[in-house]
Amino acid sequence: MVELTIDGIKTRVPEGTTVLEAAREMGIVIPTLCYHPGLSPYNACRLCLVEVVKGKRASLETSCNLPAMNGQVIFTNTERVKKARKIILELLLSICPNSKTLQDLASNLGVTKIRFKIKDKNCILCGLCVRYCKEQMQAGVLGFINRGTSRKVGTAFGKLPEQCRNCGGCEWICPACERACNADRLVGGLCSACLNLVKVETCEICIGCSESVGAKGHKTF
C-alpha cells in the first residue's frame, strides 16, 4: 500500500494504482476522454491533468498514467488545472465540434468560447478505438496513419482486413461518434444548449411566462 494526499485528504491505495484511479475511489471527478478502465492508459487527450506538488514547485501531469507514490501531494481542481483543461478542450472542440461528449464537457467545465480556428476532422486522435481493437478484440485492425496534421485512424492501405469482426466496438467507444443533438446549429463551435452557463432565476411558482432562456439571462413578458 502507498499513502498520498489528494485535495488535502490522505488516502491509501494498492501499489500500482494510478492517481486517476485513486481520485475516483475517493469520489473526485477528473474529466477524461482517452481513458477507459478496460484499456491501457494513453494520456493523449490531456484532460486528466492534475497539479503535483514537489517541494516548493508544482507541475501539471496527466493522472491516468501517473502512478500513486508515497508522500505524493496532488491537487485536482486548482485554478491552474481548470485553466489548462479549458484550453485543451477548446483545442479538441476546434477539430471535433459536433461531438456531444465534448459539448457536454464544455458546458461542465465552463467553456464559453473557442479561440481557435474550427476545422471539423471528426476525430480527436484519442486512440480508444485502436486500443480497443488490439487489446479487447485481439484483432489490431485499426491504427494511426501518417504524421503531424495529417495523422488519422484507419486500416492498412484503406482496406478492411479479414481480422475485423464487425463488432462495432470502435464506434461504441469513440467519444466523437455520438453526435450533438443540434450539431447543425452550433454558434462559434459551441452549443451549450443542455446546460446553461449562466444561472437562471425563476419565481417561486413558475407559470411558464418565460419568453427565452439563454446565456444572457432570463427574458420574461
Domain edges within the chain? 2-118, 128-173
Which cell goes with 163? 481480422
CATH of segment(s) 2-118: 3.10.20.740
Helix (H) or strand (E) holding 57: strand 57-62
Render each residue's pLDDT in the chain as its tens digit; 221 residues.
999 999 999 999 999 999 999 999 999 999 999 999 989 999 899 999 999 998 889 999 999 999 999 999 999 999 999 999 999 999 999 999 888 899 888 888 888 888 999 888 889 999 999 999 999 999 989 999 988 888 999 888 888 888 888 888 899 999 998 887 776 677 778 876 554 444 555 555 555 554 444 444 444 43
Q: Are 103 and 187 in contact (CB under 8 A)?
A: no
128-173 folds as Alpha-Beta Plaits (3.30.70)
